Amino acid sequence: MSVSSVERPPDVNIADCPSRLILEHVTSRWGVLVLAALLERSYRFGELRRHVGGVSEKMLAQTLQTLERDGFVHRDAKPVIPPRVDYSLTPMGRAAAEQVWALARWVETRVGDVAEAREAYDASRGR
């Protein structure tokens, strides 16, 4: 086996590393909010859409499908009439959700600091 055929370890700083795409999925605007919501409990699609304010039906469907494909979300379609589909986190999804939700909570605590920094920045540039 030559050195060139050995896979390099994942590195999000390498443009074509698969880990970068996964990071984008988990940390996207809707990805974070969907993962965070599912930390609380499982949701049906409509409930989740109402819980995650501002997400369109199309974006929620795409986000759920992407997170399901990556192994973070479990889709449980029950064969009943009317159809019932519940979404929940897989164990890997729970671990990811805890990480991104910790960051989101930290951001919430720093809103005032960021506002001050923005004001100082704008004032220094005559805005």
Domain boundaries, the chain: 3-124
Q: What is the pLDDT of residues 45-67, one digit of tens each?
A: 999 999 999 999 999 999 999 99
Query: pTM of the full predicted structure?
Result: 0.85
Residue 86: strand, helix, or coil: strand
Dist. CA 71–CA 37, nearest whole Å: 17
H helices within the chain, ranges in order?
Answer: 18-27, 29-40, 45-51, 57-69, 91-109, 111-124
**pLDDT for 4:** 47
Please state which CATH number belongs to domain 3-124.
1.10.10.10
